[in-house]
Amino acid sequence: MVKLCLLVILPVALGQTPRITGPRTNAVVKSALQRMYNVDFTAANRILDEYIRENPADPMGHTFRASSDLFFELDRLKVLEGEFFADDKRIADKRGLKPDPALRNVFFATMDRARVAANQRLKANPNDSDALFALAINSGMTMDYTALIEKRQISSLSMAKEAQRLALQVLKVDPGYTDAYLTTGTTEYLLGSLPFFVKWFVKFDDAQGDKMLAVKKLERVVEGGRYLGPFAKILLSLIHLREKRLPQSMRLLDELSREFPENPLFKKELVRVRELSSKSR
């Protein structure tokens, strides 16, 4: 069941963010994500806190704020390194991690506010794609914290399934909501990586476990996602690394290093994959 830990690469705190209309909101979201991808959490949080003060009923502000806290904790615990994701045993290892209990409380309280705000929007409009996507993100983040930090991978399955269901609902009401393909794409890869006997018991809506389809969906996000393009690149670089497609992984990491020069992780992973490529020749 170790490979169930691949659930961790479902949309996580690295910026899984929905489409929001309106030029001002777009600018705020993009600036906050830019700071998060550059691991400048102080600036990201300042931007998001101001947005929440001005727009307390918008579930996206609370969702982004929770994402920033989760990403900070994953970065602090060195969970986001490619070596971690490439090693199933390391993912499942319950030793070594010491999560911050205060941050955990803040993180879950922020997600609770996001869910309340999203459900209020859905009462007025059951087809509100932004509200549905906010719920999908929060389900994914709950799964990520449970699987990656608390190391309760089996318990995280229900939230992973809920994130998939909500992402599919987003695409049903708004087929052009490209960022939602990140969830469905990573679900495809997850199922494609599981042993046959595990797949028999693990069922997700509208997913067959096709790894190539997973790559195509993530590439679609890279090309047309409003916010998730960089995160799709991160996931694709990890997938190519796991599948021993080192040139593809290096290309994506090089692009990420150039796009987010303040993030040392991309440079570190690029050097590591280059070394692996040299040894494999």
Average pLDDT per 10 consecutive residues for the chain, totaling 281 residues: 40 39 59 92 96 93 92 88 64 72 97 97 95 92 88 83 95 93 89 71 84 96 86 90 93 96 93 88 71
Token reading at 39? 């691991």
Q: Enter the pTM of the model.
A: 0.84
Give the whole-angstrom CA distance, residue 259 versus residue 74.
21
Residue 21: its pLDDT value, please? 39
Position 200, amino acid: W
pLDDT score, position 29: 79
**Inter-CA distances, 248 with 57, 90, 217, Å:** 42, 24, 16
Per-residue pLDDT at 89: 63
| pLDDT value of position 155 | 80
- What are the residues whose beta carbons fall under 8 Å from the beta carbon of 88, sequence distance 6 or more? 2, 3, 5, 6
For residue 152, the Cα-to-chain-centroid distance in whole angstroms is 18
Task: Output the furthest CA–CA distance in the chain (Å, rounded).
Answer: 59
The pLDDT of residue 199: 67
Joined tokens for residue 52: 């929440």
- pLDDT for 95 equals 62
| pLDDT for residue 64 | 87
pLDDT of residue 30: 82
